[in-house]
Amino acid sequence: MSYTILDIIIYPVKSMSGISLTSARALFAGFEHDRRWMLLDENNVFITQRQIPQLALFKPLINNGSLIIEYQNEKLEIGLDEILSEIIETKVFDDAAITIATSRRADDWLSTRLEKKVRLVKIHSDQGRYHHNKKRNVSIPVSLADGYPYLVAGTSSLELLNSKLTDPVPMNRFRPNIVLNTSIPHIEDELNHCDSGDASFINMKPCGRCTIVTIDQSRPTINNETLTTLNTYRKSGNSVLFGTNMMCTKEGIIRIGDKFCE
Nearest to 140 by CA among 201, 209, 196, 81: 201
At 201-259, the pLDDT tens digits run 999 999 999 999 999 999 999 999 999 999 999 999 999 999 999 999 999 999 999 99
At 108-128, the pLDDT tens digits run 999 999 999 999 999 998 668
DSSP 86: -
Task: Look up the CATH number of the domain holding residue 90.
Answer: 2.40.33.20
Domain, as residue range, for 180: 2-256
In a domain, 135, yes or no: yes
Task: Classify residue 137 by burial, with Cβ atoms within 10 Å: 0-12, 13-18, 19+.
Answer: exposed
Mean pLDDT of 30-53: 98
At 61-91, the pLDDT tens digits run 999 999 999 999 999 999 999 999 999 999 9
Residue-by-residue DSSP string for 170-210: -GGGG--SEEEE-SSTTGGGG--EEEETTEEEEEEEEEEP-
Contact assessment for residue 71 and residue 15, using Cβ atoms and an 8 Å cutoff? no
Helix (H, G, I), strand (E, B) or coil at 130: strand
In a domain, 261, yes or no: no
Task: Classify residue 93 by burial, with Cβ atoms within 10 Å: 0-12, 13-18, 19+.
Answer: exposed
In a domain, 262, yes or no: no
In a domain, 49, yes or no: yes
In a domain, 8, yes or no: yes
Structure confidence at residue 150 (pLDDT): 99
In a domain, 60, yes or no: yes
Domain count, the chain: 1
> Torsions phi, psi of 199, nearest 5?
-110, 165
In a domain, 23, yes or no: yes
Structure confidence at residue 262 (pLDDT): 73
